[in-house]
Structures are given as structure tokens and as C-alpha cells.
Structure 1
């Protein structure tokens, strides 16, 4: 297994550009299955999860023409509807292929998808949405869904799940009649899915709201789209710059996606400026201040952005409460930070308190998921001395060429 070796305690400087959105990649690739015509997707991040998704679609008989940061998908001949279990076990995002294959082929079989081990992520809301459109579902070890035809209906999501919303949209795009999705997720990548489907000929309104209206169409055509910037990566790099007290400009972003995140940084006294498509983080002029860091449904702070903010909490004056409202196994990073000297009080599986400021020292750590991985990288860059981080394959799932990009900012990081 590869690991990162990092010599920390150094100020960074320069610019770092954000990649295309990992979370937009999955539903956009899935939407390309709804037409026989070619779909061109650009600004695609070169990450492991993208490679898995490419292999999944190719295994279905889909023609995949892959070049750097661009993929041309032609689903003229889908020759199977049972998804490769070895591949789906690696990728939670593959769940959106359920809605796409159901819409196109009227049947799909999938083993329960894998991904990060951060807590329970049930698919009940997905299955209820499919059933509302007329599908028959079974989920006894393997997910099996079929329908003679899909008919529009009112779907009330039991939870405002991003992927359940995306699956409902994909399944409803070509369903007969009207589909209304209530309590829909509003994340930017959900919005981009709707916009892409409309480019393909779908009729979707209410984009960016909790009520999405779809008038089903019998056929969709090919389209092109650039993936939106990855707001989670943007938040990670902004947090990294602030935690290391460096002057770094994070470019190629949409600050509108980060309102609550930036508000929390402001409340912590982080020194930054907002531009049209960039955030410039500067060295602090006052001590960072402890706050309560709690996320919620978009446009509130994303759960994926909370772990890295723990490093800021270790450098802030006072007690910062971190609330992980969504996943019960996502606080594993706190144990690793304790090795480095962080003052941590675990309240329960969803809450932890950091008392700062505390100096961090290099240590040997292990990452078990994507966001924990970037959190430990930031901690190692803040810490004095050398750190070793194992489990970097998790980081590779969501961050493109991380060590190369951070090295350009002056970080001493290498892969071993």
C-alpha cells in the first residue's frame, strides 16, 4: 500500500486550481445512458472513482472514449443490465446507475454499492421512488428492479438524499406523464444533472428547489457539458491554506456553492477574500476563534467539508464543537489527531470537542476514507516534523494528483 511522507510546519504559497466535481461525475455519466447518441463530458477529474465508473459502463457494452479530463460516452448498445459486483463494491456513486438503467432498459440488478466506511447509507428512499413510478423492487442481498413501463407520479422522498433525488430524476426523465419530486436535494451537482438532461431534451423545472417537476419525454439525444468545480475539493484547499496560515489562491471555483462554509471561516477570523471564481486565503491578522461547526442540507455546510475543519479547530482559541450530523462513523480522524497532540473530547458518535490552540507534531497515521485522508494531510502540513499517512488509495479516489499539486505550493510531500 502506498503512503504519503510529509514534512510539515512550512508556509505555502501560490495558486491551486480545483478539479471538476466528483459528485457531478456519477449522475452525468449515468444520464449518458439514457440516449443512444454520444455525450461528451469535459472537466472530468482524473481520480480513481472516475476510472471505476468508466469500467462499469464499459462492462455494460457502452463505448467509452477516454482522454485527459474528457470522456465521450456512446450507449448505443447496452448488452446487459446486471452491474459488475466487483466494481460496484468499490463505488457508492454507482447507485445512480439504478435509475438510468431502469429508465433505459426497464430492468437492473446490482449488488449493494460500496465506498467509504463512514456509516449506514440505506437505499430505501431510492426504491420507494422507483416503486412510485411503477417499478417492482427487491433488495435481499442483491437489488433487483424492473418495470413494464414507468409512469409519472408524485414522489415524496423520505430523506432529502442526493443520490435518491438523482435516481428519481433519472427514472422520471422518460416516464410517461408528470413526475413531481418533493423534498428533493438541492446540491449543485443535482442541479447540473437536471441542466444536462434538459440539454438532452428532457423537460425539468424547479431546478435548485426542493420540488422538481418533470414532464416525461419518449426519447433523449446526445449533449455536451463541462462538469462544475468540485466544491468539496475547494473547501479542502481553502481549509488547508488557512490551517497552515499560508497565502494561497484557490482558483476555478464557484464561491456561491460555499456560502455557509465561508461564513464559518469568517466567524473563525480566517483572513480571506472572495473573487468571481477564486478565494484568496492570506496569513491571519488575529488568532483563529473557536466556533460550533455543524452542517446540514445544502446550502448549509456539507458533511464532506467538516472533517478538514477539525484542523482549523486545533489552531483556534477555545473549544470548538464538531457535529457530524449525517454519518456515525466519520469521526475516526479525531483519534488520529490525538496522536499528533490535539486536545480532543469525544462526546458520542456524532460529536467531538477540540480545545485549542494546540501544536501538532508529526506521527504515523492511517486514513480509512477520502475526507479523513485529506484531513490527515492538512494536519501533517500543519504539524512540526515528519508524518506518514497510510491508506492514500482513499485519497486518490477523490483528489487528482494531490502530492504533485501541493508540491507546487511548496509542500514537502511525496508518495512512497
Structure 2
């Protein structure tokens, strides 16, 4: 296990280039099992979750070859097993994404309950109900056992706009017989990436980018060379980093279509930016100030399915709010344990009232001081890194494995733009 040692108070200056979208890479890796030819994936982030997903593919029998640091060639034609090992499933929640494609292509899939972040209950009912609607049989024992002689298209109303549930349903439907209509589907950029890849493989999907998808099943899908889009979660994280540390940070690889939801949230804390081409430059000259709602009311930053403000950035926004003059309410509606990390910010000097598992009132600005922390999940861990970089003194963050599951080569990249951060092995 490794830890970060961070000395705060140094401005961030220079260029950071966005990695590929982690949340797009994981379903696209699972989708390679649908092809009857090799697939090449590009702009894949070099992170732990990706490596675990490739290990799952190898265990299933697929050939996985690294072309370069961010490009991989997967040949699924040698797949001969359909069970995801428990030790790999425990490491990454995205292992559940193999249920749809394996069942669609091979008629069976066996998966242990998925692991991943500890941010509260994360139900898998949507996955199961959607695949059942398409004709799959599911036996729930110590493992989840999916089977189907044939999947048949059907109208499917998802009981919640689950991202991975939508992705599993899409991957099952593209090889189902007939037409599937998915309603209340998630439409995040990573879902759109998956759809774009499948369409290039020969799938027929209508309504991409909306919450209603019409999928006309095909008998087979061919290989493809596909590049993952940039990670807007990294973008939001780096905007938050620049906002609280000052300096002159530029962020390269930005897609304009990802910005409107981020602007809604960040603007409430007085964070603005300039955009030239695909390079975004946060404005850090002026002090952060909470912008009250009309009538002088305390503003609320809350998350919602796309195109709402991303749930994964609420942890980052909580840190930014500690450095903004005024009062803001952070309302994380989707996961009941994600806000529990604020006790670490409070121990650093933040003035935060945790109202309940979903809501925190933040009073700023607060002078933060270094502390010893343990990362509970990817996004809270990144929020701790940002807090440590704007704090006075030295912080130690343990369990950085959790952070590096979602952020590629983080300590080296931040060091290159002026952060005083180093990675050390635990004693």
C-alpha cells in the first residue's frame, strides 16, 4: 500500500492533459466480449480499475495485448469461460458489466457480487430486472448466475436511471432478437461513448444522448478501433484544484459538451473559466465567493443524473466551498455514505455541519491545516488531495490505492504543475 505526503500552500501552474474517461473505458472493455473480431481501444487511462477489467478478460480466455501506454488490443474469439473470479470482482464494481455481454453472446455469465467504493448501498436490481425483461434467467446464490437460450427484444422501463444498469441492458439488447426500447435510461457521456463504440461495431441504436434508446438487435458485431473521450470527472477535479490553490492552471483535452452541468455547480461558488479550443483556464485572480440564490437565499449544489451536476463531483465541491466566502448547501442525493468523509475536512479546520447522510452546510472561507487522513473512495480521496494542497502544513493520505483507481499517475502529474506531493510506500 502507498501513501501521499503533501505540503500545502503552493500555487498550481502549468498544463494538465485530461486522461480518457474511466467510466467510459470500463463498459467499453466489457463490450469487447460482444465482438467476433479483435478490438482496439485507445485513450484508455492507465489506472487500477482498467487493469482489473483486463485481468477479467484474460481470465475469461480473451487475448489482451498492450499496444502502448493508452492503447490495447483485445481478441475475444478465444473466450471459453464465463465466470468472473471473486478476487477480481471484489476489486472493481464494474465487474457487473460483464453480465449483459456474456449472457447475450454466450448464453451464460456467473458473477460474484461486485466490489468497489464504499459510498453506501449500491443496488444491482436494475441490472437484473432489465436482463430478465430480455429473457435472461437469473439465479441468486453465492454468485449471480445469468443464463439465456436466446435474448429477445422488449420494452424495458428501467426502475432507476442507473448508469451501469443502462450499459448492461444496452450490451444485452444489441445481440437480442428484435427491437428493445429502453426508457428511463441513463445518458451520461460515458453511456454515449459505449453506444458510439457499439454503433461502430455494427449495432443499431437510436436516441443516443437521450433517456429513451431504441435498439435493433443484430446477429453479430464486428471488431472496431475506438478512442475513449476525455474524462470530465478529472476536468471537474482539476477545476476545483485550481480554484482553491490559485496559480495559473490550464487543462487540455476539454470537450465543450461536458461543460454546461459543471458550470451550473461551479458558478455558485464563484468559479469561472476561459475556454480556447480544447484548453480551459480557470480564473483564479479573484477570491472565491458564494453566489446567493435570488432573494439572498443559500444556494444548493445538488447532483442528479445527466445532464444534472455529476454525483462524483460533490466531494470536490465540498472542498471548494470551504474556501469560498459565504454559505452553501451540498446535497448528495444518490449515495447515502459519500458525505461521511467531511469529518476529515472538519479536522483540518473546515466549518461544516453534516445535517444527515446526504446534506452538508459549508461555511467559508476556512483556513485548513494539514492532517492525517485515509481515503475511503476515489472521489473523496481526490477531495482530500485538493484540501491538502490548499492547507497550511503537511498532510498524509493513506490508502491512495482508492484514489489511483480513478486518477492516472496522479502524484507525478500534479508534481509537474507545482504541487508538493510525493508518493511513498507504507511502512
Shorter-normalised TM-score: what interval?
over 0.9
**Residue aligning to 1:258:** 259
Question: Does 2:216 match 1:215?
Answer: yes
Map 1:291-306; keep pairs closer than 5 Å. 291-306=299-314
Would the aligned equivalents of 1:246 and 1:281 in 2 still touch at CA under 8 Å? no
Provide the C-alpha distance between the structure 1 equivalents of 2:62 and 2:27, rounded to a whole number of angstroms.
Answer: 16
Query: How far did residue 31 of structure 1 move?
Result: 1.2
Query: Which stretch shifts more, 138-147 or 369-378?
Result: 138-147
**Residue aligning to 1:270:** 271
Query: How far did residue 316 of structure 1 move?
Result: 1.1
**Residue aligning to 2:295:** none
Would the aligned equivalents of 2:109 and 2:145 in 1 still touch at CA under 8 Å? yes
**Residue aligning to 1:403:** 411
**Residue aligning to 1:127:** 128
Provide the C-alpha distance between the structure 2 equivalents of 1:292 and 1:317, rounded to a whole number of angstroms.
Answer: 15
Provide the C-alpha distance between the structure 2 equivalents of 1:254 and 1:309, rounded to a whole number of angstroms.
Answer: 20
Query: How far did residue 275 of structure 1 move?
Result: 3.0
Map 1:14-413; keep pairs closer than 5 Å. 14-66=14-66, 67-289=68-290, 291-413=299-421
**Secondary structure of 2:382's match?**
helix
Q: Give the total of aligned pairs.
A: 416
- Alignment TM-score, normalising by the size of structure 2: 0.96
The verdict on how the C-alpha distance between 1:124 and 1:166 changes in structure 2, with shifts beyond 3 A counting, is same
Provide Cα deviations, 1:221-244, integer angstroms capped at 9, x if missing partner. Answer: 000111010111111011100111
Query: How far did residue 276 of structure 1 move?
Result: 3.1
Provide Cα deviations, 1:352-406, integer angstroms capped at 9, x if missing partner. Answer: 1111111001111111110011000000000011111111010110111101100
**Secondary structure of 1:190's match?**
helix
Q: Could you list the structure 1 runs, at least 4 aligned residues long, displaced by more than 6 angstroms after superposition.
A: none
Question: Unpaired runs of 5+ in structure 1?
Answer: none
Provide the C-alpha distance between the structure 2 equivalents of 1:184 and 1:354, rounded to a whole number of angstroms.
Answer: 33
Provide the C-alpha distance between the structure 1 equivalents of 2:102 and 2:169, rounded to a whole number of angstroms.
Answer: 12
Provide the C-alpha distance between the structure 1 equivalents of 2:27 and 2:198, rounded to a whole number of angstroms.
Answer: 10
Provide Cα deviations, 1:170-223, integer angstroms capped at 9, x if missing partner. Answer: 000011111110111000111111111111111111101111001111011000
**Residue aligning to 1:12:** 12
The verdict on how the C-alpha distance between 1:245 and 1:28 changes in structure 2, with shifts beyond 3 A counting, is same
Provide Cα deviations, 1:42-78, integer angstroms capped at 9, x if missing partner. Answer: 0010001111011000000000011310110100121
Query: How far did residue 279 of structure 1 move?
Result: 1.4
Would the aligned equivalents of 2:268 and 2:301 in 1 still touch at CA under 8 Å? no
Provide the C-alpha distance between the structure 1 equivalents of 2:140 and 2:232, rounded to a whole number of angstroms.
Answer: 33
Provide the C-alpha distance between the structure 2 equivalents of 1:239 and 1:377, rounded to a whole number of angstroms.
Answer: 11
Would the aligned equivalents of 2:264 and 2:309 in 1 still touch at CA under 8 Å? no
Provide the C-alpha distance between the structure 1 equivalents of 2:309 and 2:179, rounded to a whole number of angstroms.
Answer: 32
Provide the C-alpha distance between the structure 2 equivalents of 1:387 and 1:267, rounded to a whole number of angstroms.
Answer: 28
Provide Cα deviations, 1:99-139, integer angstroms capped at 9, x if missing partner. Answer: 01011111111000000010111111111111111111122
Provide the C-alpha distance between the structure 2 equivalents of 1:134 and 1:264, rounded to a whole number of angstroms.
Answer: 41
Would the aligned equivalents of 1:271 and 1:285 in 2 still touch at CA under 8 Å? no
Provide the C-alpha distance between the structure 1 equivalents of 2:221 and 2:12, rounded to a whole number of angstroms.
Answer: 48
Query: How far did residue 264 of structure 1 move?
Result: 2.3
Would the aligned equivalents of 1:246 and 1:282 in 2 still touch at CA under 8 Å? no
Provide the C-alpha distance between the structure 2 equivalents of 1:245 and 1:223, rounded to a whole number of angstroms.
Answer: 43
Provide Cα deviations, 1:309-336, integer angstroms capped at 9, x if missing partner. Answer: 1111111112111111000110122000
**Residue aligning to 2:3:** 3
Query: How far did residue 255 of structure 1 move?
Result: 2.9
Provide the C-alpha distance between the structure 2 equivalents of 1:255 and 1:374, rounded to a whole number of angstroms.
Answer: 23
